[in-house]
């Protein structure tokens, strides 16, 4: 099965905080208001919440991506 | 003084080696091909820009994706304030760097080479520019000299690619990484100039020769910039696997009494002087031991200096050099720097010291590039090595000035 994880483009994120409102199960805010995203694949039951957070980001900084295969080394 | 690999040949005072002298001393440039990548693999050469990544693996990752249109960036941006080794190498042995870049281009099947040299490094730019003019036309066609902006992050691999593509030397989000999609979307090899120069010698002398230069199971030599409380600060080339004590002896010995050694640079970490002496400078083995040779900085802190003040100054520099793209880096490093400065001034706010511990953990791994990671690793080493000084500074709050 295809496992998905939350990916963030940190250079786009401006700390609008909507993601943490909509997906509190996996996203909390740091002391400056920027999201801390729990690592790892998102459980199937939570995917609708995750998708809502992605869709609501005003600067399109979030995406659901397939979990990258662990390679032994990466440049 | 040095008769090892990169700086063998004419003395420093002779200035940049000419193309004619370079070819007379070392012979013509050998072939750059798949066999060279295997030779580099066997040589044990790891990158000298800071991350110590195996050079052979990096070249293979570009070569396997190239359709003859890959790009090579020879990275001589050298934005680390304590580092002089890349500038020195380019100013003395420009043709070794260019040979390495051409070999890399042939081996990974690249048709463009950018010599990315820090714009503030005037003598290096002059030497590289003159060296290009001495080269055969077939070499020059593929080579472009590109001054790099004088900022800390301009030398980060994705920032170098971003600068070539869009004129903005700030890191970009990964993936894709440069070896997947770099300059104009082509597979791109971003390699430090010292690494390329080593490759140029390994191509001539073989992997066994390179390994035999090292000591204590380490391979090859490394350029170091020695600074701080030593009699003769400067750039030295030493066998990998040498001890810090041996390096300090080469730099004329410690002036006064050493309190700590900064290893690796602003991205590196403090080691107490008591433990530093016997540490082996092996870029391959240090990461496993929790340290890093970084870009080859060895800087000695005198006991007379205030370690908190020096650490606060470095944190301030790193906070200012954030590209201001990622919130956790920009705001996190600013908060960390401000709290460290208050502690160094012995005028802390409530909670400054606990905040340093909380925020270093909070910021780590949350930038597009590794700038915040390097900064918090540095501060964590300061909190460990200067624990008693930080504790004393934290307790100074409320003390009446007399």
Count of CB atoms within 10 A of residue B210's CB? 24
- The answer on pLDDT for B249 being more than 90 is yes
pLDDT tens figures, B111-146? 999 999 999 999 999 999 999 999 999 999 999 999
> Residue A18, Cβ neighbours under 10 Å: how many?
16
Average pLDDT of the segment spanning B366-379: 95
Would you say residue B2 has pLDDT above 50?
A: no
Interchain pair B366, A15: CB under 8 A: no
β pairing state of A35-37 and A27-29: antiparallel
- Across the interface, whether the CB atoms of B170 and A12 are under 8 A apart is answered no
d(Cα B16, Cα B122) in Å, to the nearest integer? 13
Strand partners, B299: B227, B262
Q: What is the pLDDT of residue B387?
A: 97
Nearest residue of A to residue B332, measured between CA atoms: A32
The fraction of chain A above a pLDDT of 70, given in percent, is: 89
Task: Evaluate if residue B275 carries a pLDDT over 70.
Answer: yes
Residues B34-45 have a mean pLDDT of: 98
Chain-chain contact of B327 with A9 (C-beta, under 8 angstroms): no
Q: What is the mean pLDDT of residues B205-211?
A: 97
**Chain A residue numbers touching B182 (CB-CB < 8 A):** none
Q: Which of B177, B325, B326 sits opposite A75 (nearest CB)?
A: B177
Element (DSSP H or E) covering residue B188: strand B188-192
d(CA B344, CA B306) in angstroms, rounded, equals 8
**What confidence tens digit (pLDDT) does each residue in B144-188 have?**
999 999 999 999 999 999 999 999 999 999 889 999 999 999 999
- Whether the per-residue pLDDT at A67 is higher than 50: the answer is yes
Picking from A11, A74, A75, the nearest residue to B326 by CB comes out as A11
Q: What is the DSSP letter of B30?
A: -
Contact call for residues A36 and B332 (beta carbons, < 8 A): no
Q: Which of A32, A72, A75 to mutate to test the interface with B (most CBs of B within 10 A)?
A: A75
Compute the average pLDDT of residues B350-354: 96
A33 with B327: Cβ contact below 8 A: yes
Contacts of A11 in chain B (CB under 8 A): 170-173, 325-326, 368
CA distance B67 to B208: 31
Collapse the DSSP code of B321 into the 3-class scheme (helix H, G, I; strand E, B; otherwise coil) and give the result. Answer: coil
Report the chain B residue with the minimal C-alpha distance to residue A14. B327
User: Facing residues of B298 across strands?
Assistant: B226, B263
Write down the mean pLDDT value for chain B: 95
Q: In whole angstroms, what is the distance from residue B269 CA to residue B291 CA?
A: 7
Q: What is the pLDDT of residue B402?
A: 39
Which residues of chain A have a CB within 8 Å of the CB of B362?
30-31, 36
Cβ separation A34–B366 shorter than 8 A = yes
Contact by Cβ (8 Å): B66, B187:
yes
Residue B282 near residue B45, CB atoms below 8 Å = no
Listed in sequence order, the residues at least 6 apart from B260 whose beta carbon sits closer than 8 Å to its beta carbon are B270, B271, B272, B273, B276, B300, B301, B307, B385, B386
Q: Find chain A residues with C-beta within 8 A of B60's C-beta.
A: none
| B104 DSSP 8-state letter | H
Detail the DSSP E strand segments found in B49-167.
70-76, 110-118, 143-148
- Do the chains contact at A31 and B170, CB–CB below 8 Å? no
CA gap B336, B333 in Å, rounded: 5
Q: Rounded CA gap, B256 and A69, in Å?
A: 52
Q: What is the mean pLDDT of residues B186-208?
A: 98
Residue B165 gets the label, from left (phi > 0), alpha (psi -120 to 50) or beta, of alpha
State yes or no: pLDDT of B83 exceeds 90. yes
Q: Give chain A positions within 8 Å (CB) of B179.
A: 75
Looking at the complex, report in whole angstroms how far the Cα of residue A32 sits from the nearest Cα belonging to chain B. Answer: 7
| Residue B291 banded pLDDT, cuts 50, 70, 90 | confident
Taking CA–CA distances from B333, the nearest residue in chain A reads: A32
Percent pLDDT > 90 in chain A is 84
Given a cut of 80, is residue B290 above it in pLDDT? no
Query: Could you tell me the pLDDT band of residue B287, with boundaries at 50, 70 and 90?
Result: confident
pLDDT exceeds cutoff 80 at B232? yes
Is the pLDDT score of A70 beyond 60? no
Mean pLDDT for B262-278 is 93
pLDDT of A72 higher than 70? no
- Reading the block at residue B31, the tokens are 């072939």
State the pLDDT confidence band at A14, using cuts at 50, 70 and 90: very high
Nearest to A13 among B54, B177, B327 (CB): B327
As a whole number, the mean pLDDT across chain A is 91
């Amino acid at each position: 099965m295809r496992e998905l994880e939350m990916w963030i483009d940190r250079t786009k994120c401006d700390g609008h905080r909507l993601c943490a409102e909509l997906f509190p199960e996996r996203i909390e805010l740091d002391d400056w208001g920027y999201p801390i995203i729990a690592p790892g694949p998102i459980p199937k039951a939570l995917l609708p919440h995750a998708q809502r957070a992605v869709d609501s980001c005003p600067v399109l900084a979030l995406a659901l991506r397939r979990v990258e295969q662990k390679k032994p080394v990466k440049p | 003084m040095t008769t090892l690999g990169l700086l063998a040949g004419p003395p420093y005072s002779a200035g940049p080696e000419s193309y004619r002298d370079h070819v007379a001393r070392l012979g013509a440039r050998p072939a750059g091909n798949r066999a060279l990548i295997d030779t580099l693999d066997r040589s044990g050469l790891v990158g000298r820009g800071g991350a110590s990544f195996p050079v052979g693996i990096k070249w293979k990752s570009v070569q396997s994706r190239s359709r003859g249109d890959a790009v090579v960036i020879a990275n001589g941006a050298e934005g680390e304030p304590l580092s002089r080794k890349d500038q020195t190498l380019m100013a003395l042995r420009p043709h070794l760097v260019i040979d390495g870049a051409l070999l890399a281009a042939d081996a990974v099947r690249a048709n463009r080479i950018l010599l990315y040299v820090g714009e503030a490094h005037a003598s290096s730019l002059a030497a590289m520019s003159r060296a290009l003019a001495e080269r055969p036309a077939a070499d020059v066609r593929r080579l472009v000299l590109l001054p790099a902006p004088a900022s800390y992050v301009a030398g980060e691999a994705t920032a170098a690619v971003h600068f070539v593509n869009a004129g903005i030397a700030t890191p970009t989000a990964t993936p894709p990484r440069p070896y997947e999609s770099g300059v104009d979307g082509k597979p791109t090899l971003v390699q430090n100039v010292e690494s390329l120069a080593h490759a140029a010698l390994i191509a001539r002398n073989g992997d066994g020769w390179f390994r035999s230069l090292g000591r204590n199971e380490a391979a090859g030599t490394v350029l170091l910039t020695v600074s701080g409380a030593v009699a003769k600060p400067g750039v030295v080339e030493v066998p990998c696997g040498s001890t810090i004590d041996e390096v300090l002896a080469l730099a004329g010995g410690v002036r006064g009494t050493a309190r700590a050694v900064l290893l690796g640079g602003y991205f590196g970490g403090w080691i107490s002087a008591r433990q530093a002496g016997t540490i082996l400078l092996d870029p391959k083995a240090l990461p496993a031991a929790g340290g890093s040779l970084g870009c080859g900085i060895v800087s000695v802190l005198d006991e007379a200096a205030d370690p908190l003040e020096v650490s606060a100054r470095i944190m301030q520099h790193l906070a200012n050099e954030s590209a201001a793209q990622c919130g956790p880096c920009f705001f996190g490093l600013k908060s960390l720097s401000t709290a460290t400065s208050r502690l160094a001034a012995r005028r802390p706010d409530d909670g400054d010291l606990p905040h340093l511990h909380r925020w270093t953990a909070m910021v780590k791994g949350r930038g597009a590039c590794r700038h915040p990671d390097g900064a918090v690793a540095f501060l964590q080493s300061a909190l460990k090595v200067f624990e008693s000084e930080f504790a004393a500074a934290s307790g100074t709050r409320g003390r009446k000035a007399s």
